[in-house]
Amino acid sequence: MKRFWSGTSVVPEGLDFAILLDRRPLKLPGGKALAVPFHALAEAIAAEWAAVGVNFTPDDLPLTRLATTAQNRVRPQHEDITAQLAAYGMNDLLCYRADGPPGLALHEAEAWQPWLDWLERRLGIRLLSRSGVMPLEQAPEYREVFIAYLRQMDEYQLAGLGVIVPALGSLVLALALETGELTPDGACQCASLGELWQETRWGFDGEAGARRQGITEDVAVSARFMFLCRP
């Protein structure tokens, strides 16, 4: 795509804030003008449109993409999205520990168990954990606890979690990030514990490192999006 505007601005529109490219409203796919209920988010979206070059792609506009997802996909499917995210909690990465070597298993237990303990304090859920990859049967009522907690979030928070949870493989880490208990880097490091531990013994894997960097960037921008969507 080619840039066709010279400047951006934000203007009030009822209870929302609209983004203008020059004097024209920024349009969503389908032709609807983009307006969001958070001034900080509107300013950040305007800033990313102001920063793009002559040629750009949607990847240069991650906050716009997330706002569009929130309005066009998450809002009409709020219940389905909460159920999908809750399913990650019932099979959370932190519940499946390495069955060897012993050093890695101990490292995971030391790094991951505190976050399962945090979840218990936060939601009253005591998730089981085990070594290996065989499925665990968590208490079925935990799913409803997760859903009830997620249902309180608006479409913007869920849009951010919709990127972060699959990227980490962990609803627990994502919720800790959403509450500010974890940083994006800290959450990604925790989720990549096994890979990072192996690299200390066998050397850096460039392909795996590039993939982790991409995940870290996606998680960071999604976390920023959620924080910009706070009242």
| pLDDT tens readout for residues 210-221 | 999 999 999 999
Helix, strand, coil tally for the chain in percent (to 5): 60, 10, 25
Q: How many CA atoms lie within 13 A of 230 on its CB side?
A: 8
Helix or strand or coil: residue 57? coil
Q: What is the CA radius of gyration of the chain?
A: 20
Q: How far is Cα 109 from Cα 113, in angstroms, rounded to an integer?
A: 5
In a shared domain, residues 144 and 33: no
Query: Is the residue at 132 inside a domain?
Result: yes
Taking the C-alpha atoms of residue 81 and residue 55, their distance in angstroms, rounded to an integer, is 34
Same domain, 119 and 217: yes
* Lowest-pLDDT choice from 23-37, 182-196, 213-227: 23-37
Q: Which domain holds residue 39?
A: 8-60
Give the number of domains in the chain.
2
* Residue 29 in this model has a pLDDT that exceeds 80: no
The pTM of this model reads: 0.94
E strand map for 134-222: none
Instruction: Mean pLDDT check: name the lowest of 12-21, 61-70, 124-133, 178-187.
Output: 124-133
Number of alpha carbons in the 13 Å side-chain half-sphere of residue 187:
30
pLDDT > 80? residue 33: yes
pLDDT in tens, 157-175: 999 999 999 999 999 999 9
Say whether pLDDT at 201 is over 90.
no
pLDDT at position 126 is: 97
CATH number of the domain that residue 134 is part of = 1.10.3580.10
The verdict on 94 and 165 lying in the same domain is: yes
If asked whether residues 123 and 220 sit together in one domain, one would say yes
* 13 and 104 belong to one structural domain: no
Q: Cis bond leading into 101, ω under 30°?
A: yes
Question: Can you tell me the distance from the alpha carbon of 114 to that of 92, in angstroms, rounded to the nearest whole number?
Answer: 14
Confidence at residue 214, expressed as pLDDT on a 0 to 100 scale: 96
DSSP assigned state of 33:
B
In this predicted structure, the answer to whether residue 135 has a pLDDT above a threshold of 90 is no
